[in-house]
């Protein structure tokens, strides 16, 4: 592990891309607040991997779609030290693949709550704590979107793609709003990635089926997405804000 770079809060970090981001940020020297909503065992494993490698991490349960939970999450993260960055990774598909007209309203509402309201709440609280105008020392926000936004994912999960489109707009608008306050805001947009996302929605072979249509011929590994986040957080990206970086193999 490298020298301590402050605290980073990673939402939805119990598995998949979020867990990979948490591990990579720990390698980069951050103390990591590992947020989870329900997968306590996954969060425990993420924390254990970080601690076993010599890092600092703590698992914190919170539903990012609830304002009170978000405030509590940030308060708990602050117990680890000075907040330096936030990664807005938590997101769901509703575990359903199909046309929009077949998606039950309660799933639409929950997906919108987690994927849109959640990032808005987390970004708002991050700014309140990081902004130099509000007494903070500056910092960074990285949102996690999806290249599903490009084509809208017709017949698959238009509902999910639409919410990630909102995350893209949030990134661009907020970056302009808080750039003068010492806060950089960027976004990483993964394409097809080897996680449990498709299996949870009932199509475990979907990643393999999509691979021939990707110029690089394969899906991403979560660690490759985490590497993009790491770079945006690094001094090498110090003049970048409002960017949406695709990690999609060219698709």
pLDDT, tens only, 51-109: 999 999 999 999 999 999 999 999 999 999 999 999 999 999 998 889 999 999 999 99
Q: What's the confidence (pLDDT) of residue 213? A: 83
Question: Taking the CA of residue 106 as centre, how many other CA atoms within 13 Å lie in the half-sphere pointing to its CB?
Answer: 0
Q: What's the confidence (pLDDT) of residue 229? A: 99
Round the average pLDDT of the chain to a whole number and report it.
Answer: 94
Candidates 123, 226, 233; CA nearest to 175 is 123
Q: Name the CATH superfamily, with its identifier, for domain 7-190+222-247.
A: NAD(P)-binding Rossmann-like Domain (3.40.50.720)
Known catalytic residues?
160
Q: What's the confidence (pLDDT) of residue 200? A: 63
- The predicted model scores a pTM of 0.94
Q: How far apart are CA 12 and CA 19, in angstroms?
A: 8
pLDDT tens for residues 132-152? 999 999 999 999 999 999 989
Q: Which letter, b or e, does each residue of 63-80 get, where b requires 16 or more Cβ atoms within 10 Å of its Cβ?
A: bbbbeebbeebbebbeeb
Cβ–Cβ < 8 Å for 28, 54: no
Backbone angles phi, psi at 90, to 5 degrees: -55, 130
Over range 15-42, report the average pLDDT.
98
Q: What's the confidence (pLDDT) of residue 8? A: 99
Cβ–Cβ < 8 Å for 194, 180: no
Cβ–Cβ < 8 Å for 120, 70: no
């Amino acid at each position: 592990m490298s020298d301590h770079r402050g605290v980073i809060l990673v939402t939805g970090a119990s598995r998949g891309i979020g867990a990979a981001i948490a591990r990579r940020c720990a390698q980069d020297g951050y103390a990591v607040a590992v947020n989870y909503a329900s997968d306590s065992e996954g969060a425990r494993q993420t924390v254990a991997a970080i601690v076993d490698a010599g890092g600092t991490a703590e698992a914190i349960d919170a539903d990012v779609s609830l304002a009170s939970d978000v405030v509590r999450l940030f308060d708990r993260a602050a117990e680890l030290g000075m907040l330096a960055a936030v990664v807005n990774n938590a997101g769901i598909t509703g575990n359903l693949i199909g046309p929009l007209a077949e998606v039950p309203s309660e799933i639409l509402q929950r997906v919108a709550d987690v994927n849109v309201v959640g990032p808005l709440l987390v970004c708002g609280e991050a700014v309140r704590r990081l902004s130099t105008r509000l007494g903070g020392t500056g910092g960074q926000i990285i949102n996690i979107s999806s290249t599903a936004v490009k084509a809208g994912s017709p017949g698959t999960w238009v509902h999910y793609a639409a919410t990630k489109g909102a995350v893209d707009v949030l990134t661009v608008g907020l970056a302009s709003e808080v750039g003068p306050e010492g806060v950089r805001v960027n976004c990483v947009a993964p394409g097809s990635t080897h996680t449990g996302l498709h299996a949870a929605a009932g199509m475990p072979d979907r990643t393999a089926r999509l691979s021939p249509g990707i110029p690089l011929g394969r899906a991403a590994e979560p660690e490759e997405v985490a590497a993009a986040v790491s770079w945006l957080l690094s001094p090498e990206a110090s003049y970048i804000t409002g960017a949406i970086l695709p990690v999609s193999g060219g698709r």
